[in-house]
Amino acid sequence: MNSKERLLNMRVANRKRVMVTGGAGFLGSHLCERLLEDGCDVLCVDNFYSGTKDNVAHLMSNPHYELIRHDVTFPLYVEVDEIYNLACPASPIHYQWDPVQTTKTSVHGAINMLGLAKRTKAKILQASTSEVYGDPEVHPQQESYWGHVNPVGIRSCYDEGKRCAETLFFDYYRQHGLEIKVVRIFNTYGPRMHPNDGRVVSNFIVQALRGDDITIYGDGLQTRSFCYVDDLIEGFVRMMGSPKDVTGPINMGNPVEFTIRELAETVLKMVGGKSKLVFKPLPQDDPKQRQPNITLARETLGWEPRVRLEAGLEKTVGYFRNFLAL
């Protein structure tokens, strides 16, 4: 074996094998892209319930990328070094369509992925959510807050499913010594969002581009904090690379708070046109305010968002403008 072959074998041996469940979704596709850029072998797992092959079509020619159609509620037998568990529909329209399956995806999916991590001794990251805080009575929300969640409401399949998944992660950590990482994602936006996912950023942009009235639920004074997708993915990678004793949960989101009405007006100004604001009743259990305290992420990971809302919205508007023109 010559020196060139030995160097090639060393590179192959040192290349991390990373699995991303929900890898064809909005966040998952960006994560797969980043991991490939970082020199990983990437196994993307998705059942295409809310994800789409279009999100990862540009990755298919990469020899270090592999796509498997699989539902995480069933066991998967592969060999991996790291697991990012993102599988679960994340928008109300999608997760309320089949709420039983949503709960199973969070709970059974966590059990199956934790079992895989235990067998392969892989590090595993759980993509949890700010929805574990419910309609919070503490503002901004910090990780020590236990939440204010309706366990029997129409959002419970997602909220409680994610809370139970966190429970399972920490029980595997305590009982089996598994290396876990738990991040709580706050509102994230960017290219490859589903145009019909019912989330405010994609809703407002698509309505404005089509010249439709922009629908605001409630009085528009409820608040959200919007994190651009590239910033979030950077947080994921830093969390996975953190020391073993850094388990989380850690909030990841943009602490700059906006009202829903401010977001709608910003999108209108950016897109132009003659769309008007239309107000409709607030859905059940819709949180009145959402803002992350990211002190822990700053101090532990040296992470905070860099992309300002206007800059991120410009890229997202450009994506949807091209998408709708197809």
Catalytic residues: 158
- CA geometry: angle 298, 37, 311, nearest 5 deg: 55
- Decide: helix, strand or coil at residue 194: coil
DSSP 55: G
Count Cβ atoms within 10 A of the Cβ of residue 81 and give its class: 0-12 exposed, 13-18 middle, 19 or more buried.
middle
Task: Match 């709708």 to its residue by tokens.
Answer: 324
User: Which residue is associated with the tokens 């949890």?
Assistant: 128
- Among residues 124, 125, 123, 143, the alpha carbon closest in space to that of 133 is found at 143
Q: Which amino acid is at 32?
A: C
Q: How many other CB atoms sit within 10 Å of the CB of residue 111?
A: 17
DSSP 132-176: GGBS-SSSSB-TT---B--TTSTTHHHHHHHHHHHHHHHHHHHHH
In three-state secondary structure terms, 224 is strand
> Burial of 36 by CB count in 10 Å (0-12 exposed, 13-18 middle, 19+ buried)?
middle
Q: What is the largest CA-CA distance in the chain?
A: 71
- Give the separation between CA 188 and CA 166, rounded to whole angstroms: 20
